[in-house]
Amino acid sequence: MIGDALDGLDERQREAAATLRGPVLVLAGAGTGKTRVITHRIAHGVDTGAYSPGRVMAVTFTAKAAGEMRGRLRALGVEGVSARTFHAAALAQLNFFWPTLAGDSAPAIVDNKVRLLAHAADGVGIDADKATLRDIASEIEWRKVTLRSIDAWAAARPGGVGRYDVSRVADLQRAYEKLKDERRQLDFEDVLLACAGMLEAEPRVAQAVREQYRHFTVDEFQDVSPLQHRLLQLWVGERRDLCVVGDASQTIYSFAGADARFLLEFPARHPDATVVRLETNYRSDGAVLAVANELMRDRPGALELQPAPNRPPAARPETATAAGEPPLPTVTAYPDDAAEAAGVADAIAARISAGADPRSIAVLYRAHAQSPELLRALAERGIAATVLGGRRFFEVPEVRQALMALRGASVATQEHGLVDSVRDVLRSLGMTDEPPPAGGALRDAWEARAAILRLAEEAVPGTGLRAFTDDLIARAKSQHEPALRTVTLATLHAAKGLEWDHVHLLGLSEGFLPISYATTFEQVDEERRLAYVGITRAGRSLSLSWSRSIGHRERTPSRFLREIGSGTLRAADGRASGGAASRRAPARNAPTASSAPRSR
């Protein structure tokens, strides 16, 4: 163990990390250090002898998050903990036990659900386009993670999908399942279902798993689906060492089966549970947190976030007001979408000119369709941007080419230092000292190669080219991607778990946020949580904006601006040419046509 695992934790974090036995619920607000608490708690358990690393399972929802958790544990001197996603853990168990139970290897995993659906559709005379098949694939996923049969799905989704009524979609689902069985394949959700079924049907398998894993930790517990919760119950059995961590205000995947009730009802299911609330935020200034708190006030499970008392001063050349205070979050109205994109791009250009690192700036929005206008506006100002959710860094052809070249160069004797050696290789592949103009493939390739060079510059002194290349390969496997020196554009869903100093959240009008198809109370509530996730990504400054029209159609400001209230926002003038003065955010209690009740 490297040092004391409880060192550097605040009082509440320390309480959570020091509670090693019995059910534990950690309600961790945005920016409160939940991953730090999880890893330090495990490290403290290993350090004190309460845990054996090989008997600990830490479960999260993405391979990237699992990789980060393993990395943090290694930094604390802990090796051997099973930090995996639900699917990775379930698949490992299936592959291990299936040959013994069935005398054969486990079924193959479907690599393309939509393609298999298309083959099944041919068999039942359905000629559906790819978009419709993708929607039906989503319905299959929802059905399985919510533990519904096809008939139960049909009762819950009577509207059908697209132009196909519910009975036809049900027929297609049955054909899909039959074809999958004939090909001896499992889809992504079947992995969890099959693992749960194996544990339920085979007591000796359940006993072996429970003997192997004695201590469970589950991150992002608000995103657990009924299927995942059932599998977790089977893993844990009668044991009591279960720690769950989550934030109900960040439940943004209900449409995919996530159910925050498992988090909210944990104390009722475990009356003797220790409950710890983490509400000290180490990411955002108080002005940003005030906006977030107002938006979520009185919502189930909402936490009251407070800025850390020892947080470094926020006043920086590019963020401070004349009085040296952090800027109040602003709301700006623009005449149309093009003016909004131009205004946001102008603000970003000014911030970069004042000294901000482009990597510290993000523009967030509800839907990918909002990004092209932004990319054009930024490119016109010479600002490079990266859209999250596109091609992964290590899948970019220029990055793969660089990896191969570096690997080859690492075999030869290097006469230069690491940085010079990496620079020489990248130059041989076409990298220039000055970047090409923003907005094209050449600039994207340049930024990717520049990121590799920065990794070399940030490497531990004395690192050789071979070790550096091995680290890059390990990064590729764990999806540990470097940050490009660009402004980030991302949907609110893609932004979850990330943070930036400066955030522009645009499209805060009715129809965009909340999205037009959010018509029920629950759907609008999920949109509110999406807005909350976007707001809490901001560390130093937050800018909200909306546009008044699209074509000849008028828009109204989002109801969420009313819920936040003008007391926590400063109105700003529209910066676009031809724009009228910005409309001040409606007062908290002012009636508006778009307002919606905050509770039932």
Domain residues of the chain, as ranges? 11-90+193-278, 108-183, 315-390+486-572, 393-478
30 is in an annotated binding site: yes
405 is known to lie in a ligand binding site: no
In the CATH hierarchy, which top-level class contains the domain 108-183? mainly alpha
Q: What is the dihedral of CA 433, 435, 440, 446, to 10 degrees?
A: 40
- Domain 11-90+193-278 top-level CATH class: alpha beta
The pTM of this model reads 0.83
| Secondary structure letter of residue 77 according to DSSP | T
Q: List per-residue pLDDT tens for the chain, 600 residues long.
A: 445 888 889 999 999 999 999 899 999 999 999 999 999 999 999 999 999 999 999 999 888 889 889 989 998 999 999 999 999 999 999 999 999 888 888 899 998 999 999 999 998 888 888 888 999 999 999 999 999 999 999 999 888 888 889 999 999 999 999 999 999 999 999 999 999 999 999 999 999 999 999 999 999 999 999 999 999 999 999 988 999 999 999 999 998 899 999 999 999 999 999 999 999 999 999 999 999 999 999 999 999 999 998 766 544 444 444 445 567 899 999 999 999 999 999 999 999 999 999 999 999 999 888 888 898 899 899 898 888 876 677 777 888 888 888 888 877 655 678 888 888 888 888 888 888 887 677 777 888 888 888 888 888 888 888 888 888 888 787 667 777 788 999 999 999 989 999 999 999 999 899 998 888 999 999 999 999 999 999 999 999 999 998 777 889 999 999 889 877 887 665 443 333 333 333 333 332 333 333 433
Q: Which residues contact 101 (CB under 8 A, 6 or more apart)?
A: 198, 202, 205
Q: Does 130 carry a binding-site annotation?
A: no
Let me know: does 258 contact 250? Beta carbons within 8 Å.
no
Q: Is 31 annotated as a binding residue?
A: yes
Is 8 a known ligand-binding residue?
no
Cα 131 to Cα 152: distance, rounded to the nearest angstrom: 24
Going by the DSSP 8-state scheme, the letter that residue 541 receives in this structure is E
Tell me whether domains 11-90+193-278 and 108-183 share a fold.
no
Q: Which CATH architecture has domain 315-390+486-572?
A: 3-Layer(aba) Sandwich (3.40)
> Both tokens of residue 301?
């499970």
**Distance in angstroms (rounded) separating the CA atoms of residues 378 and 340:** 12
Known binding residue 33? Answer is yes
* 251 known ligand binder: no
